Amino acid sequence: MGLQENIRQIVAGKCGDPFSVLGMHLKKDKYGAGVEVRAFLPEAEEAWVADEETGSQYPMERLRKQGFFLLRLKRGKVFPYQLKIKSSDGKISERKDPYAFGRILTDFDLHLMAEGSHYNMYEKLGAHAAEFNGTSGVHFAVWAPNAASVSVVGDFNRWDNRRHPMRSLGSSGIWEIFIPGIVKGEAYKFYIKSRYNNYEAEKSDPYGFYFEYRPKTASIVCDINSYGWGDDAWMKKRPETNWFESPVAIYEAHLGSWMRVPDEGNRFLTYRELADTLIGHAKQMGYTHIELLPVSEHPLDASWGYQTIGYFAPTSRFGAPEDFMYFVDACHQNNIGVILDWSPAHFPKDGHGLGFFDGTALYEHQDPRKGEHMDWGTLIFNYGRNEVRNFLISNALFWLEKYHIDGLRVDAVASMLYLDYSRKEGQWVPNIYGGRENLEAIDFIKKLNELTHQYFPGILTIAEESTAWPGVTKPVYLGGLGFDMKWNMGWMHDMLSYISKEPVHRKYHHNKLTFGLLYAFTENFMLVLSHDEVVHGKRSMLEKMPGDIWQKFANLRLFYGYMYGHPGKKLLFMGGEIGQWDEWKFDQSIDWHLTQHSRHNRLQKYVHDLNRLYSSEPALYEVDFDYQGFDWIDVCDTENSVISFIRYARERGDYIVVVCNFTPVPRFAYRVGVPEKCYFREILNSDSRQYWGSNLGNAGGVQADDTPCHGKPCSMNIILPPLSVLYFKPGR
């Protein structure tokens, strides 16, 4: 291709090999060696090449009215230079030429990415402030293998896609350029022209660290390595913590609606404001962790964050990346872990996002039977592609490394595991063996769990998985998926069905109350009352409860008390701790004013006391995932809708007796079998006056006698309040 055709392509913004055209080049012809400097400067009226060695300045010839300039010199070698430009307003400026710089990414980088094993790709792709040959600027790189040309556009070049076309790194599909003089805070996108169907689009950076405030969609050049962390004590302790035998009480929160500022246009709280308010609340309430609905950048508030665009960027709704680091740092300094909801199952179709990225189905499957979630209107990642797996795994490691995140709750795992998830016959493609299992996704999940635990011991991975898939929390080397814990969706659905029934009918549904213990130790379960249960007409936790106001609060206290006594780690969504009447709305604050009323205030105190008791009693958390930590006392009192059981610590002598009455009928002289004859302290009574109960109970405790009952050698006669849960501990 001749020079004139190259110039035409540069001016038209269609050049796929700009470094062969622009910049300084040695030329040899019959007259001898020489140097040519070519530059496309559409804003320039005049241009010069300034020799940095000699200080000489050489005027350039304008070859095209659009701004293509050329300088020919009879010199035998290249030399360092700058471009001097006089713009139409008469201003003169000097700048380094981006096309004077060589490659930054190495062949080894490209090899690892193609192999799917470059686990810190976020250090290579995207936008990174760098110094190259003594010059400061930003290195841009993006994966777009089916692009004919890719340019960086932004405020710095007036969003002109002709100005900074990138270098293609061959079959790797990577494009890169170093642009000198750019600083932090510059907005940018990648302008992609595909080889197919004349497709052109401006795309946000898949590896961008920061985004413009919605509805704007550009990425922003950002340095995320300058924050000074103060959580050394937490990070040193974390790998030594056995979370399976530790209390895990999680407060699930949506940052956009936990609390707002109505006096200032109902604005969001910032990350730093949340560090004072949300962390203070969670700490005062006795939670061990805060789990955040996705904070990765997303365009649509109504998606709650689950339709992610900026996988590597905390949303700018609440501040800058260092502000989110401050939030996590403050959590750790207050001994609270941070778990992020992470959504590798699907992504939205927004034009500036990952979908159809380079004019082809790059991150997603081309076949909609494999590549589209019909229910959600989103696209499914192609887990069989090395570069896509690399993108997702490096993203998981990124949050753990750069933001000190303590765990990832992986969303919609069931939709990843099954090819026929929410599809009818003919709407899905079987795997190579004719089955419905998504083999590529399974392999990805296993690799994810292996690597996150290898590089960051002490973190948690938690599956939202709603089927009976075996071995979700079994280690990969034993044939499992490798998650630490799994949300117990079955227990949640059964209990919400049971507890929402009028007490008079509960005896006919006793199996829903007890069925969960048949499989409670087949996985490492987490008991969850999450955001999904208080939206879309499902009503708030309090409104699900039957009866009058007093009974609603009593039922809810009973439900929470049973949950904390039941084997499994705990999670409660925000608002549930104060008895929110309205179901959750993503665009408004929790109704904190309710705590002015005693019944709500005392429910909050009850949840506080539950968390404190839970964290202080090893019997309630040490043996959550083994049958030896649980023993039924009486599972068969269906007529009275009463159950009783024992929770054991590792030391069998340390145990707690739990008795639940799921009817509003107080029961006097109710006999419960116990392992020994001693005094049993009543350490929790959900019917206490301090929790807005009727204050019926056992005056602090009961003396057991040697009357055998329920297969136990001893027993105690107790007063069982209406709609209540009691915890007893032997006080030897």
The model's pLDDT over 198-229, given as tens digits with 9 standing for 90+, comes to 999 999 999 999 999 999 999 999 999 999 99
**The CATH number of domain 107-220, selected from 1.10.3720.10, 1.10.10.60, 2.60.40.10, 3.30.200.20:** 2.60.40.10
Distance CA 250, CA 266 (A): 27
Whether 110 shows a pLDDT value over 70: the answer reads: yes
The ranges of the chain annotated as CATH 2.60.40.10 are: 3-100, 107-220
Average pLDDT over residues 468-484: 96
Reported confidence tier of residue 3, pLDDT bands at 50, 70, 90: confident
**Residue of 297, 411, 617, 682 with catalytic role:** 411
Q: What is the pLDDT of residue 318?
A: 97
3-100: which CATH topology?
Answer: Immunoglobulin-like (2.60.40)
3-class secondary-structure state, position 347: strand
Contact assessment for residue 684 and residue 616, using Cβ atoms and an 8 Å cutoff? no
How many of the other CB atoms lie within 10 Å of CB of 244?
A: 18
Mean pLDDT, the chain, rounded, equals: 95
Q: What is the pLDDT of residue 88?
A: 83
Average pLDDT over residues 150-165: 95
**Residue of 464, 523, 533, 682 with catalytic role:** 464
Is 375 among the catalytic positions?
no
Whether 292 shows a pLDDT value over 70: the answer reads: yes
Reported confidence tier of residue 572, pLDDT bands at 50, 70, 90: very high
Whether 30 shows a pLDDT value over 80: the answer reads: no
Angle subtended by helix axes 321-333 and 271-285, to nearest 10 = 20
Average pLDDT over residues 533-547: 95
Average pLDDT over residues 94-101: 94
Whether 85 shows a pLDDT value over 80: the answer reads: yes
Q: What is the pLDDT of residue 284?
A: 97
Q: Pick 609 or 116 by higher pLDDT.
A: 609
Note the pLDDT tens digit of each residue in 343-402: 999 999 999 999 999 999 999 999 989 988 888 899 999 999 999 999 999 999 999 999
- pLDDT over 90, % of the chain: 88
Specify which residues 34 forms β-bridges with. Answer: 27
Average pLDDT over residues 514-518: 96
Whether 262 shows a pLDDT value over 80: the answer reads: yes
Tell me whether strands 714-720 and 667-674 are parallel, antiparallel or unpaired.
antiparallel
Q: What is the pLDDT of residue 610?
A: 98
Note the pLDDT tens digit of each residue in 417-443: 999 998 988 899 999 999 999 999 999
Q: What is the pLDDT of residue 732?
A: 72
Average pLDDT over residues 311-325: 97
Q: What is the pLDDT of residue 552?
A: 98
Token output for 359: 């004019």
Whether 310 shows a pLDDT value over 70: the answer reads: yes
When computed from its CA atoms, the radius of gyration of the chain, rounded to whole angstroms, is 31
Whether 31 shows a pLDDT value over 70: the answer reads: no
Distance CA 532, CA 536 (A): 8
Q: What is the pLDDT of residue 329?
A: 98
Which parts of 456-488 fold into alpha helices (H)?
none
Contact assessment for residue 341 and residue 287, using Cβ atoms and an 8 Å cutoff? no
Sign of CA dihedral 626, 627, 631, 632: positive
Contact assessment for residue 732 and residue 710, using Cβ atoms and an 8 Å cutoff? no
Distance CA 22, CA 7 (A): 9
Note the pLDDT tens digit of each residue in 589-645: 999 999 999 999 999 999 999 999 999 999 999 999 999 999 999 999 999 999 999
Return the C-alpha torsion angle 168, 389, 105, 209, nearest 10.
100
Note the pLDDT tens digit of each residue in 66-81: 899 999 998 878 899 9
Is 155 among the catalytic positions?
no
| Residue bearing tokens 């939709």 | 415
Q: What is the pLDDT of residue 76?
A: 78
Average pLDDT over residues 107-117: 92
Which parts of 522-597 fold into alpha helices (H)?
541-544, 549-565
Q: What is the pLDDT of residue 374?
A: 84
Angle subtended by helix axes 598-616 and 549-565, to nearest 10 = 10
Average pLDDT over residues 122-127: 96
Whether 24 shows a pLDDT value over 90: the answer reads: yes
